[in-house]
C-alpha cells in the first residue's frame, strides 16, 4: 500500500498555477527523490503533502488520509525538514532539539534518550552546548535533520537537505538516509542535484508543474534513451564502418555516429540503443564478426544527461 498517493494535484498561488495536475505514488520503505529545477514547485508539493498548504484541486492521500485533515496521531508519524534553518539561533543545539521533541510529545525519558541518539546520529553530540547561531551552515542543516527524525517518524519529508553542502557532507546525508530507510522509514527527499537521483530508490522528475517521469534510476535512464545504450568504437575508414554499423540495425537502433581519428587512423564512435544490453551484446559481436572493434561498453549516461533528455522530450 502506497504511503503517498497524489492524483491530478493542482495548486495555484493567486493567478499562478504552480502544480498543474500532478500524479505521484510513494511506496513504504523507499527513498523517493523528487528532482526538479529551482522554482519547479518541489517545496510547494511538499507543503501540500505535509498539510501546510491546501490543494487547489485533485486528490492527496498520505497514510490514506487527506493531509489537511491530519489528526495529531498522523502528525506524529511524519517528520519534516524545511529547506532553510528555522530553529532558534539563540538556543543551544540540544535546547533546540529538546523543544522539537517536546512538540511531538515525547515523554521525559524518551526525549532524553532520543535527543542523545539523534544528535549522535547526525554527529552533533559534541556540539550540543553550542548556540545554534554560532554553528556552521552544515551543522545547522544537520540539526534541522535531527529535528525531523527525533520522534522516529515513519515518513520523513526532507526539502533540499544537501543544497550548498560540500560533497563529503552531501554523501554523509545520503548515507544517513539509507540507514534510516534500512530501519524502515520512508523518505521523501527533494533535490536540485540531478546526480543524487542515482542514490534514490525511486525518482520523480518535476518539471513545469508536472511529474514528467517517475521510476527507479535505471528505468528513467531507459526512458530517456528509449532503452539501454551500448557505445562502440570501430576502426577503419568511414565507408567501411558505415556498412558494418548499418548491419546492426537488426539488433538495435544506431544513433549518434561520429567519425574521428586516433593515433592509428580513422575510427567511428556510435551509440546503439537496445532493449537489454546484456542480451544484445553477444549478438553485436556476432554481427560485427571480423570488424576491428576497439571497444564495446554498456553506457551508464550521467543523470544530467538523462534529465536533460527527459525534459527535452517533454
Partner 1 sequence: MGALLRVRAVAAKEFWVLLRQPQLLLLLLAGPVLIMVAFALSFEVDRAKPRAVVVVEPGSEGEELFERFQDRFTVRTRFQGTVQSVEQADQMLRNDETDAAIILPPDPSESVRRGEQAVLEVRYSSINPIYGTTVPNRANGLVLDLNQALVREGIARELEDAGTAREAIEDLDRQLARVNEAAESLATPEAQAATSELDSTLAELEQTLEVLALVESGEGEEDVDRSLEQTRQAREQLAELQEAQEGGAPSVKDRIGLTELEQQVGLLQEQVSEIPFDVPPRVLANPFRLDLENLAPYEPDALGFYTPATLALLIQHIALSLASLAIVRERLSGAYELFEVSPLGLGELLVGKFLTYAGLVFGVNLAVAAVLVGTLEVQVLGGFLRLAVAMMLLTLASLAAGFLLSTLSRSQLQAIQIAMLMFIASGFFAGFLFPLDQLGQPARSFAYLLPATYGIQALQDVMIRGQWPAWTDFLGFALIFAISLAVARHLMGRKKV
Ligand X SMILES: Nc1ncnc2c1ncn2[C@@H]1O[C@H](COP(=O)(O)OP(=O)(O)OP(=O)(O)O)[C@@H](O)[C@H]1O
Which residue, 189 or 291, has its beta carbon nearer to ligand X?
A: 189
Judged by beta carbon distances under 5 to 8 A according to partner kind, the member of Mg ion, ligand X, partner 1, none in contact with residue 253 is none
Q: How far is the CB of 49 from ligand X (least distance, A)?
A: 12
Residues 148-167, one symbol each (x = binds partner 1 by CB under 8 A, - = not), give ---------x----------
Q: Does 287 bind ligand X (CB under 6 A)?
A: no
Kindly indicate which of the ranges 31-39, 117-125, 253-261, 297-305 contains the residues binding ligand X, using the contact rule CB under 6 A: 31-39
C-beta contacts of 179-183 below 8 A and 24+ residues apart: 180/149, 180/156, 181/29, 181/30, 181/31
Helix orientation angle between 303-313 and 217-225, rounded to the nearest 10 degrees: 50
Q: How far is the CB of 49 from partner 1 (least distance, A)?
A: 10
Cα 245 from Cα 61, distance rounded (Å): 51
- Tell me which residues in 31-90 interact with Mg ion (CB under 5 A): 42-43, 83
E strand or H helix at 115, and its extent? Answer: helix 108-121
Q: Does 100 bind partner 1 (CB under 8 A)?
A: yes
- Asked if 25 contacts 15 with a C-beta cutoff of 8 angstroms, the reply is no
Q: Are strands 155-159 and 4-13 parallel, antiparallel or unpaired?
A: unpaired
Q: How far is the CB of 13 from partner 1 (least distance, A)?
A: 9
Measuring CA to CA, which residue among 227, 229, 233 is closest to residue 288?
233
Kindly indicate which of the ranges 78-86, 107-115, 267-275, 288-296 contains the residues binding partner 1, using the contact rule CB under 8 A: 78-86
- Pick left, alpha or beta for residue 227 (phi over 0 → left; psi -120 to 50 → alpha; otherwise beta): left
End-to-end CA distance of the chain: 30
Q: Which residues pair with 68 in a beta bridge?
A: none
Q: Which residues pair with 32 in a beta bridge?
A: 188, 202
DSSP string, 182-220: HTT-EEEEEES-GGGGGGSSEEEEEETTEEEEEE-HHHH
Give, as one character, the DSSP assignment of residue 92.
Answer: B
Q: Does 75 bind partner 1 (CB under 8 A)?
A: yes
3-state SS class at 66: coil
Q: Does 216 bind ligand X (CB under 6 A)?
A: no
Kindly indicate which of the ranges 42-50, 103-111, 175-183, 257-265 contains the residues binding ligand X, using the contact rule CB under 6 A: 42-50
Cα 309 from Cα 17, distance rounded (Å): 25
Kindly indicate which of the ranges 35-43, 127-135, 232-240, 281-289 contains the residues binding ligand X, using the contact rule CB under 6 A: 35-43
Q: How far is the CB of 191 from ligand X (least distance, A)?
A: 9
Q: Does 87 bind partner 1 (CB under 8 A)?
A: yes
- Pick left, alpha or beta for residue 22 (phi over 0 → left; psi -120 to 50 → alpha; otherwise beta): beta
| 42, 151, 185, 309: residue in contact with ligand X (rule CB under 6 A) | 42
Which residue, 78 or 206, has its beta carbon nearer to Mg ion?
A: 206
Q: Does 192 bind ligand X (CB under 6 A)?
A: yes
Measuring CA to CA, which residue among 99, 98, 145 is closest to residue 123?
145
Q: How far is the CB of 44 from Mg ion (least distance, A)?
A: 8
Q: Does 191 bind ligand X (CB under 6 A)?
A: no
Which residue, 189 or 251, has its beta carbon nearer to ligand X?
A: 189
- Tell me which residues in 145-174 interact with ligand X (CB under 6 A): 160
Neighbours of 74 (CB within 10 A): 16
Q: How far is the CB of 34 from ligand X (least distance, A)?
A: 9
Residue numbers at the binding site for Mg ion (CB under 5 A): 42-43, 83
Amino acid at each position: 500500500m502506497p504511503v503517498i498517493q497524489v492524483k491530478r494535484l493542482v495548486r495555484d498561488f493567486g493567478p499562478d498555477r504552480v502544480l498543474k495536475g500532478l500524479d505521484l505514488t510513494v511506496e513504504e520503505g523507499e527513498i523517493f527523490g523528487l528532482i526538479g529545477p529551482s522554482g519547479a514547485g518541489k517545496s510547494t508539493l511538499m507543503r501540500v503533502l505535509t498539510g501546510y498548504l491546501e490543494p487547489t484541486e485533485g486528490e492527496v492521500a498520505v497514510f490514506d488520509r487527506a493531509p489537511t485533515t491530519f489528526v495529531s496521531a498522523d502528525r506524529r508519524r511524519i517528520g519534516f525538514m524545511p529547506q532553510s534553518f528555522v530553529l532558534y539561533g539563540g538556543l543551544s543545539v540540544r535546547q533546540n532539539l529538546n523543544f522539537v521533541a517536546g512538540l511531538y510529545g515525547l515523554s521525559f525519558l524518551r526525549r532524553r534518550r532520543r535527543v542523545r541518539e539523534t544528535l549522535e546520529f547526525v554527529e552533533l553530540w559534541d556540539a550540543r552546548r553550542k548556540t545554534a547561531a554560532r554553528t556552521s551552515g552544515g551543522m545547522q542543516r544537520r540539526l534541522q535533520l535531527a529535528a525531523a527524525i527525533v520522534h522516529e517518524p515513519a515518513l520523513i519529508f526532507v526539502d533540499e537537505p544537501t543544497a550548498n553542502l560540500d560533497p563529503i557532507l552531501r554523501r554523509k546525508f545520503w548515507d544517513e538516509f539509507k540507514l534510516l530507510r534500512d530501519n524502515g522509514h520512508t523518505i521523501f527527499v527533494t533535490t536540485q542535484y540531478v546526480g543524487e537521483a542515482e542514490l534514490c530508490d525511486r525518482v520523480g522528475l518535476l518539471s513545469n508543474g508536472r511529474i514528467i517521469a517517475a521510476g527507479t534510476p535505471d528505468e528513467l535512464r531507459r526512458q530517456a534513451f528509449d532503452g539501454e545504450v551500448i557505445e562502440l568504437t570501430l576502426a577503419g575508414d568511414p565507408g567501411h564502418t558505415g556498412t558494418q554499423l548499418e548491419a546492426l540495425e537488426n539488433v538495435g537502433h544506431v544513433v549518434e555516429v561520429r567519425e574521428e581519428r586516433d593515433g592509428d587512423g580513422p575510427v567511428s564512435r556510435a551509440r546503439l540503443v537496445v532493449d537489454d544490453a546484456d542480451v544484445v551484446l553477444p549478438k553485436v559481436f556476432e554481427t560485427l564478426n571480423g570488424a576491428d572493434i576497439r571497444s564495446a561498453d554498456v553506457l551508464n549516461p550521467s543523470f544530467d544527461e538523462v534529465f536533460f533528455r527527459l525534459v527535452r522530450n517533454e
